[in-house]
Chains A and B, each alone.
Chain A
């Protein structure tokens, strides 16, 4: 691998990322999958970095999943997106930051469409006005929330409490970065580092002391792939995709996987459990899985947030091996408590995949 070749490409694919005053659009599924990630993003931006972020409770799903499943038509999704922009405009913001990669792809695709087909934009304005009496301006800057964390990665590093370095050995921890397909595969110049060798998450790993793994199936889909999972009969294919990735990355002994998409961490995390139950196969050290994190969770660990406040107990694959390597303290007795300190009840112990908090 010739790293200079990658750096050359990374230089070509840089994008403008606004440095303050963000209108934040949450994901419709991430709050269920990884409930603390969006909270952590807002906490980092507002409390750590002092940024102005507006989190509007009136904004809705972008309907991206329904659009990609052919349930929602293009004029409809454009009007929904126009409503999100109208909310942004009403609050005086010009920088739009979606939490979801699919939404980011949707917003990017629609803005490009409107740029090339002004009549479609005019029609969308008309649809929105008829339906809601709202009007909107186009965002001056569109960045995914992982772009924003990438932009401030050095600021986060300066506030670090922990590093991506194995405390026992002093070696960099080895991270797999998995990028959501809709981040840059449609519009390479809209992603940091482009589509083939994205840098947005690799940059986080590098800046926070870790080492990036490039493995043969790096580009492959996590397995969500919308229809692969949404159509129940296809779910075996979904898992096969994830398995292909695990088999490919396993020889590199990754310490963690970091992702920037709603579906990817969910499937890369949950399917490890399913594969272990079906085939008795695990991909991490000593019968554990490979911990899978969202980029906000990884940033939160670097900043020293409590792992359970980050929602890491919701993961199927135990994250404690990574916490141990980073030297992050945690209290197993509080792992399954809610924010009020009341026990949520422990999940059933997996048959094969090792987890902490049970007798092994």
Chain B
């Protein structure tokens, strides 16, 4: 049994995966998260792409892999600290300090704030939603608009706060494409008679099973894909959403009235990640996410050998990638600490 004390900041998928590995290796692990519950965004999700498996079951599996002896400090935010040779001191918002031999940051992402795309009217028009809110609807088993009616027409809009220089986000968030396809299929299953649109500029179906899901959406689920971004949304007297777009394949402007507009928002560095980057002087990339030492090798490492990065704090990531990163970074950190001490 090692006496290495390792602090993991962030109890989302990457942090939980890392905590499980490190604890099984015998390290003394402290897991900190600003939220009172573990799981991060995963805890708010219903089904996962591409296999439609349960988010809650995955979360339970990840949590179950974290032994009881892992110390959990939930609902506390790291607000300061020092990284010294072979030691890390973190200050929590309650004023206490904790010390470790190593640090693994898994502080994740924030969903792009849809309010910033003012032209879509999120937070102003009654029936404009984000994909996170739709997951909650799926989880609750009720798809209805703000006035309690079952929608008959639904439009998903891809790339909200992704690849959009107007809001200072030039990078691709990579998971929104397949999320939109998956959610459209779920909608079709719940609402067999509804008209369901996906507005996209291109669909980046890079993962195993993603492209097949996209084809199923068209062929089996009658989802209408329109290549064109929505230029603006407005609300009519019935609370429906009127959208304007250009169908770039037919080169024609388009005006549609739908019961729900769902914005597929991208990922952005979490405020917590940005604060910690400032606190510890970590390098960030042009996208604002934490930048590891190397793009191919050393993808978990920082300039401090005993501080590692994992998951979506380094950039948009799928769940698979976040979990893999958590496990890999924890092994790298353990190896690093073992080599330093011995």
Contact = CB atoms under 8 A, between A and B. Distances in A.
Interface in A161-217: 194-197, 214-217
Nearest to A9: B118
Contacts of B276: none
Contacts of B232: 219
B118 A1 contact: no
A214 B235 contact: yes
A251 interface: yes
A302 to B, nearest CB: 28
Contacts of B236: 216
B245 to A, nearest CB: 14
Interface in B79-129: 115, 118-119, 121-126
A5 B237 contact: no
A217 B118 CA distance: 15
If over half of A's interface residues share one DSSP class (helix, strand or loop), that class is named, otherwise mixed; here it is loop
23 contacts: A1-B124, A1-B126, A2-B123, A2-B124, A2-B126, A5-B121, A5-B124, A8-B115, A9-B124, A195-B118, A196-B118, A196-B119, A197-B118, A197-B124, A214-B235, A215-B234, A216-B235, A216-B236, A217-B234, A218-B234, A219-B232, A219-B234, A252-B237
Interface residues of A, number: 18
A325 interface: no
Contacts of A197: 118, 124
B242 interface: yes
Contact of A5 (B119, B123, B234, B242): B123
B67 to A, nearest CB: 45
B125 A2 contact: yes
A119 to B, nearest CB: 25
Given A194-B118, A196-B119, 4 more contacts: A1-B124, A2-B124, A6-B124, A251-B237
A188 B236 CA distance: 24
Interface of A: 1-2, 5-6, 8-9, 194-197, 214-219, 251-252
Given A1-B126, A2-B125, A216 B118 contact: no
B119 A1 contact: no
Interface in B248-273: none
B156 to A, nearest CB: 20
Contacts of A195: 118
Contacts of B123: 2, 5, 8
A252 B238 CA distance: 12
Contact of B242 (A1, A6, A8, A216): A216
A218 B119 CA distance: 12
Contacts of A1: 124-126, 235
Contacts of B118: 9, 194-197
Contacts of A214: 234-235
B237 to A, nearest CB: 6
Contacts of A2: 123-126
A8 B125 CA distance: 13
A338 B119 CA distance: 46
Which 4 pairs show the lowest CB-CB distances between chains A and B?
A: A5-B124, A5-B123, A196-B118, A216-B234
A318 B253 CA distance: 35
Contacts of B242: 216
A251 B124 CA distance: 20
Contacts of B237: 251-252
A252 B237 CA distance: 8
Contacts of A219: 232, 234
A9 B124 CA distance: 10
A3 to B, nearest CB: 8
Contacts of A252: 237
A172 to B, nearest CB: 17
Contacts of A9: 115, 118, 124
A68 B119 CA distance: 25
A197 to B, nearest CB: 7
Contacts of A217: 234
Contacts of B234: 214-219
B319 to A, nearest CB: 31
Contacts of B115: 5, 8-9
Interface string B213-240: 0000000000000000000101111000
A219 B234 CA distance: 9
A256 B29 CA distance: 68
A214 B236 CA distance: 9
Nearest to B122: A5
B241 to A, nearest CB: 9
A117 B207 CA distance: 46
B105 to A, nearest CB: 31
A214 B237 CA distance: 9
A219 B119 CA distance: 10
A35 B119 CA distance: 35
A91 to B, nearest CB: 39
